[in-house]
Homo-oligomer: A and B are copies of this chain.
């Protein structure tokens, strides 16, 4: 019995997908530079050179691992279009906070960390985050100056996420009233959606 060390494995291979998932998680958690190919390979249970075999380079892997906007985020605007503005603002606020605070799919923080650690990814980030998540929400509501509002909404969500997760406010200041904060963020979003910009 010779222990088969190298060579192709039996059955269909899921390595490519596993590498992609490991890369997504690790890039989001540690940023670009700190996420080594060796670490990705380890999490995917494969050899580092297999990562290069599938994705040619770390750059290409990073591009392929860019997080997509979640289905909830893409489906939200159509739901919101039917509601009155004040209610829509509250609903959007709640949905954004859910997405930000959900443990698994906190891809907003991943996007932020990726962009701050890799300037070349900024254009990609703007496309995904501002243009595909925020702008559709706002244009669907038929508001004036959609670009301005999209940028402002992105600012609020980004700041929220950054301060919350990155500064680890919760564990450091446990006295913070979470519901009060949620309420205020909703009001800020409502302000962005209802303020007269002309």
Give A contacts to B, CB under 8 Å. Answer: 31, 33-34, 112-113, 115-117, 122-123, 125-126, 129-130, 145, 147-148, 151-152, 154-160, 162-164, 166-169, 172-173, 175-177, 180-181, 183-185, 187-188, 191-192, 195, 197
- B167 lies within 8 A of A163 (CB): no
For the residues of A in contact with B, the DSSP-based class is helix
- B155 lies within 8 A of A177 (CB): no
Minimum C-beta distance from A42 to chain B (A): 20
Q: Which 4 A-B pairs have the closest CB atoms?
A: A159-B159, A155-B159, A33-B33, A116-B116
Central interface residue in A113, A115, A123, A181, by most chain B CB within 10 Å? A181
A116: B residues at CB distance < 8 A: 31, 112-113, 116-117, 162, 166
C-alpha gap A155/B180 in the complex (Å)? 15
* Chain B: CB-nearest residue to A167: B126
- B147 lies within 8 A of A175 (CB): yes
- B117 lies within 8 A of A166 (CB): no
A185: B residues at CB distance < 8 A: 152, 155
A-B contact pairs, 21 of them (CB 8 A): A34-B117, A116-B117, A116-B162, A122-B166, A126-B172, A147-B173, A148-B177, A148-B181, A151-B173, A151-B176, A151-B181, A152-B181, A155-B163, A155-B164, A156-B156, A157-B159, A158-B163, A159-B159, A159-B162, A162-B162, A184-B192
- B158 lies within 8 A of A162 (CB): yes
C-alpha gap A163/B122 in the complex (Å)? 10
C-alpha gap A112/B165 in the complex (Å)? 13
A159: B residues at CB distance < 8 A: 154-160, 162
Minimum C-beta distance from A159 to chain B (A): 2
- A191 lies within 8 A of B192 (CB): no
